[in-house]
A and B are shown apart, each in its own frame.
Chain A
Amino acid sequence: DQQVKQNSPSLSVQEGRISILNCDYTNSMFDYFLWYKKYPAEGPTFLISISSIKDKNEDGRFTVFLNKSAKHLSLHIVPSQPGDSAVYFCAASPYSGGGADGLTFGKGTHLIIQP
Chain B
Amino acid sequence: DTEVTQTPKHLVMGMTNKKSLKCEQHMGHRAMYWYKQKAKKPPELMFVYSYEKLSINESVPSRFSPECPNSSLLNLHLHALQPEDSALYLCASSQERNMNTEAFFGQGTRLTVV
Contacts and interface: CB of A to CB of B under 8 A. Distances in A.
Q: Which interface class (under 10, 10 to 19, 20 to 34, 35 or more) fits B?
A: 20 to 34
Interface in B14-55: 31, 33, 35, 40-43, 45, 48, 55
Interface residues on A, range: 20 to 34
A41 B92 contact: no
A107 B41 CA distance: 6
B103 A46 contact: yes
Contacts of B31: 99-101
A99 B90 contact: no
Contacts of B93: 100
Nearest to B99: A97
A101 B99 contact: no
A44 to B, nearest CB: 5
Interface of A: 4, 32, 34, 36, 41-46, 49, 51, 89, 95-103, 105-108
